[in-house]
Structure 1
Amino acid sequence: MLFSFPRQGAPNRDLVEDPERPDYSPNNWPELPSNIINDFGFPVVTVPYTYYEDNTPFVLAFIGDMWTESDLLGYAYIFEQAVMSRRAPELIDNGSN
């Protein structure tokens, strides 16, 4: 069984970790539907297919039965190659080396 649904990606943030700013902590991201589904033991693969004006990705999530990860990766790869919408993230230099 395969389910797919569109969903908005996580809020767009600079890829900078700053211990003085808790909103930049990688542990403080909002709970996403794919995380909740994973908690039930179902595999989820998300693939971006368009972007909002602020560059937040809008993704398609592929959800399968337990132990169908290889099938989901195959579907996600086919979809990704068809839309060619993925953008590599830009790293922000925070000035420390």
Structure 2
Amino acid sequence: MTTTPSQGGSQTAPTAQTAQGSPRELLETTLREIVPDASLDGVSGDADLRETFELDSLDFVELVERLGKRAGFRIEDDDADQLRTINTATAFLSRGMRRTG
């Protein structure tokens, strides 16, 4: 998956923020739409999100689609591995949000 930022936008500050907050807050909020009791508190940044929150493949696809919509950029299928853990997902979202901000 590659980000497809919208054309023309200005750069945001290095710590990408949206109306939803930080990339980590965006991830947790979006994850809760699929797993209502999900919390990233106490979860290792390197933990696999699919395993930790028992997401099947359809749940994970839904998470990816919703994250892209909320973050404001398209997440391509080839980038799914970058959303596997909290650390890789927040880094990926941060990069994409800076590009589209």
Please give the TM-score of this superposition, normalised by the length of structure 2: 0.27
Structure exhibiting the larger radius of gyration computed from Cα positions: 1
Q: Tell which has more relative contact order, 1 or 2 (C-alpha 8 A, sep 6+).
A: 2
More helix by share: 2
More strand by share: 1
